[in-house]
């Protein structure tokens, strides 16, 4: 009998310690975060730097998604609007227009994107998107690397990208 009491006591002690440290008795199967949003913010600083967009300029923007990396086979187009429709890619918050789209594609099926702003005659070519997952944090995969070429310049997209004129 004393052995059985020790076994139950050790089990209860283990459960108490586990609840204090919030350990998980079930194995962790990391969630796949899916396509990551690629974010572009339109600068509205028209006074300080003089390179910001006015609202009407920003709302002339549209995004074209292409098959491949050479911008030759358009798949679809999404336009900015002050009356957003689904799918929402453009958001206007606090006098700033944001363009967030899921970065999809793989080395075997690459995509590229062209963000056009006709009212200011600006174009942003987005290609060679690299998304690499790191380790696991709180049962979710972390992102080790997320970058792209924007007009030929490599940009770490985890920090966001601010478009200027």
The pLDDT of residue 33 is 60
SS3 (DSSP) at 47: coil
The pLDDT of residue 45 is 76
Q: Are strands 90-93 and 140-150 parallel, antiparallel or unpaired?
A: unpaired
DSSP 51: -
Lowest mean pLDDT among 12-16, 32-36, 53-57: 12-16
User: Is residue 152 scored above 70 in pLDDT?
Assistant: yes
The pLDDT of residue 79 is 83
The pLDDT of residue 137 is 74
**Is the model more confident about 22 or about 11?**
22
Q: Name the residue with tokens 């086979």.
A: 73
Mean of the pLDDT values across residues 77-91?
Answer: 70
Name the token pair of 73: 């086979």
């Amino acid at each position: 009998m004393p052995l059985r009491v020790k076994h139950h006591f050790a089990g209860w002690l283990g459960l108490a310690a586990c609840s204090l440290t919030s350990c998980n008795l079930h194995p962790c199967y990391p969630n796949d975060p899916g396509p990551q949003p690629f974010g572009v913010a339109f600068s509205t600083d028209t006074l300080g730097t003089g390179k910001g967009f006015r609202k009407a300029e920003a709302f002339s923007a549209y995004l074209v998604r292409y098959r491949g990396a050479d911008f030759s086979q358009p798949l679809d187009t999404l336009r900015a609007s002050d009356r957003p429709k689904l799918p929402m890619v453009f958001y206007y918050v606090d006098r700033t227009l944001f363009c967030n789209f899921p970065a999809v594609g793989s080395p075997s099926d690459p995509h590229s994107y062209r963000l056009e702003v006709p009212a200011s005659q600006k174009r942003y070519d987005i290609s060679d998107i690299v998304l690499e997952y790191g380790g696991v944090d709180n049962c979710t995969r972390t992102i080790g690397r997320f970058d792209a070429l924007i007009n030929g310049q490599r940009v770490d997209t985890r920090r966001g990208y601010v478009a200027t004129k």
